[in-house]
């Protein structure tokens, strides 16, 4: 099942995505980019098409404040509808410890309630990585036997033309195009880098990528690209390397 196919799922559907932590940002980015217009239109009376939340454990063994927070968020997100009808993204990596199994069961029960707060939306849960964690998480969350487990595989890096078309952007000059291609080539070796996110950051309000906008991002020491580079350097990743695009200034 393609990750974007969840937009075709029936209201109340629940999925557990098998996805490595390194690919989680790419998965969310892919989902947001692939949202069809009809799904977006369906949620116009909600406060937005997507609700996202990290669900973690509590410092008190008999309390689950994040579940209460999720319920409140779904009520607010319903907007002028009785229920939220969009996409609910839940990161439960903070609940993979064996001590939190009851919290996972409680979350699964709330999500499965007939006519409950999540009964009109599509829910995608992610977080567990190891096989044991995935099996345990699926077992605990599957309150009524309707939870589906799907896999997200990192796709090969798309061509620049495909990225530009997908995000409705264009390069304003040959120089800008070459600079973008150089950065994409370099950053493809870094885990956690999203080409789509980088492309969107580079576009201006008119949807044009210029050499100047790319230069500003590369010169900013804490831009999206440079944060990933710095993190790789701190980890001592052997994949972190420099290329010659700096000479094109």
Quote the pLDDT of residue 60: 84
Residues 6+ apart with CB under 8 A from 10: none
Backbone φ, ψ for residue 174 (5° rounding): -65, -40
List the one residue out of 108, 97, 124 whose CA is nearest residue 35.
124
Q: Please tell me the least confidently modeled range out of 48-52, 114-118, 195-199, 240-244.
A: 240-244
pLDDT tens-digit readout, 198-235 = 989 999 888 999 999 999 999 999 999 999 999 888 87
Residue 175 has pLDDT above 70, yes or no: yes
Tokens of 121: 């939306």
CA distances in angstroms from 88 to 45, 101, 110, 122, 126, listed in the order given? 16, 21, 13, 6, 11
* Cβ-based neighbours of 236, under 8 Å, separated by 6 or more: none
* pLDDT tier for residue 40 given thresholds of 50, 70 and 90: very high
Q: Chain-centre distance of CA 66, in angstroms?
A: 19
Q: pLDDT band at 167, cuts 50/70/90?
A: confident
Residue 237 is predicted with a pLDDT of 62
Instruction: For residues 232-249, give the mean pLDDT.
Output: 52
In tens, the pLDDT along 180-190 reads 988 988 887 78
Q: How many residues does the chain have?
A: 249
pLDDT tier at 156, thresholds 50, 70, 90: low
Is residue 110 over pLDDT 90? yes
Average pLDDT of the chain to the nearest whole number: 88
State mean pLDDT over 123-152.
Answer: 94
Residue 160 pLDDT exceeds 60: yes
According to the model, what pLDDT value does residue 243 have?
Answer: 36
Please give the Cα distance from 225 to 10 (Å, whole number): 38
pLDDT value of position 44:
96
Instruction: Give me the DSSP letters along 77-132.
Output: HTTTSSS--SEEEEEEEET-SGGGHHHHHHHHHHHH-TTSTTTTSEEEEE---SHH
202 burial (CB, 10 Å; 0-12 / 13-18 / 19+) is buried
Would you place residue 248 in the very low, low, confident or very high pLDDT band (cuts 50, 70, 90)?
Answer: very low
pLDDT tens figures, 42-97: 999 999 999 999 999 888 878 899 999 999 999 999 999 999 999 999 999 999 87
Show the tokens assigned to 102.
């009851």
SS3 state of residue 172: coil
CA distance 94 to 228: 23
Residue in the structure block whose two tokens are 């001590």:
99
Hunting for tokens 């799922």 — which residue is that?
9
What is the rounded distance in angstroms from the CA atom of residue 48 to the CA atom of residue 81? 11
Minimal CA–CA distance to 92: which of 124, 123, 125? 125
């Amino acid at each position: 099942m393609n990750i974007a196919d969840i937009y075709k799922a029936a209201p109340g559907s629940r999925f557990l995505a098998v996805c490595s932590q390194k690919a989680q940002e790419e998965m969310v980015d892919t989902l947001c980019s692939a949202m069809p217009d009809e799904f977006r239109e369906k949620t116009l009376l909600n406060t937005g098409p997507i609700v996202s939340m990290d669900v973690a454990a509590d410092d008190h063994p008999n309390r689950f404040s994040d579940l209460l927070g999720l319920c409140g968020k779904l009520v607010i997100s319903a907007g002028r509808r009785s229920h939220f009808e969009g996409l609910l993204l839940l990161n439960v990596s903070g609940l993979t410890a064996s001590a939190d199994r009851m919290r996972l069961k409680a979350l699964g029960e709330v999500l499965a309630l007939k006519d409950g707060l999540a009964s009109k939306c599509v829910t995608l849960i992610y977080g567990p990585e190891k096989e044991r964690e995935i099996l345990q998480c699926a077992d605990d969350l599957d309150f009524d036997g309707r939870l589906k487990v799907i896999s997200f595989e990192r796709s090969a890096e798309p061509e620049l033309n495909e990225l530009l078309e997908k995000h409705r952007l264009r390069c304003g000059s040959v120089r800008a195009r070459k600079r973008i291609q150089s950065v994409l080539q370099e950053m493809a070796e870094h885990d956690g880098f999203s080409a789509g996110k980088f492309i969107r950051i580079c576009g201006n309000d008119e949807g044009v990528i210029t050499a100047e906008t790319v230069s500003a991002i590369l010169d900013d020491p804490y831009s999206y690209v440079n944060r990933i580079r710095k993190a790789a350097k701190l980890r001592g990743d052997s994949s972190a390397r420099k290329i010659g695009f700096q000479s094109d200034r």
